[in-house]
A and B are shown apart, each in its own frame.
Chain A
């Protein structure tokens, strides 16, 4: 079974600075995907970024980048130039390839951006 670990307590970052949110995963699969989702206080789940296990380059989407270290089984999310609207809970998730695979989420990290 796959497992996601997000152990950071509530995180704080100053507006316009960069922040890294940690995610480690446990899987014995060779082919899998890693996802990050954002949940603001309004409650919706917003997809941010995806990284495939065979992707050699780190994924980037605007101010979001994924620092993928396969040997260490980590998939940290880096948010550059933090904005007040980045204050939210961030979830890391993984899914293995194959039939009947499911998206497994971590517990989430709450990020607060200070003005």
Chain B
């Protein structure tokens, strides 16, 4: 009965490869997010979707492409992986897109690019 789940939890891959991270929420939320946490624990938003519509697209290389097949899923595909992509990626969801709605985070996916 996990609220926000991500797969895989760990991902080790070589430079140049393409990989995907999947996220699912069973909370019935309308809004989903992708965050990147770097080695210094700084957390920054990458993308946000509301009802499958992209509403936030931060300054992220276009090698990163989110896809939301439905409200409960938001996947992140990364092309041509680089060393600097190594980080923990968090998926999150909130009930709606408003200032007072807290975001619930998934367990994170630790991506290591070698």
Contact = CB atoms under 8 A, between A and B. Distances in A.
Interface size class of B (residues with CB under 8 A): 20 to 34
Contacts of A50: 100, 102
A32 interface: yes
Contacts of A32: 99
B103 A47 contact: yes
Given A44-B107, A91-B43, A31 B102 contact: no
Contacts of A37: 105
A35 interface: yes
Given A43-B107, A44-B108, A102-B56, A107 B100 contact: no
A37 B37 CA distance: 14
A99 B98 CA distance: 8
Contacts of B58: 102
B41 A39 contact: yes
Nearest to B92: A45
Interface size class of A (residues with CB under 8 A): 20 to 34
Interface of B: 33, 40-45, 48, 55-56, 58, 88, 90, 92, 97-100, 102-108, 110
A105 B103 CA distance: 12
B45 A103 contact: yes
B103 A107 contact: no
Interface of A: 31-33, 35, 37, 39, 43-47, 50, 52, 89, 91, 95-103, 105, 107-108
A24 B44 CA distance: 18
Given A102-B58, A108-B41, A44 B99 contact: no
B90 A47 contact: no
A47 B95 CA distance: 14
Contacts of B40: 107
Nearest to B94: A103
Contact of A47 (B43, B45, B88, B102): B102
A43 B41 contact: no
A31 B99 CA distance: 8
A104 B48 CA distance: 13
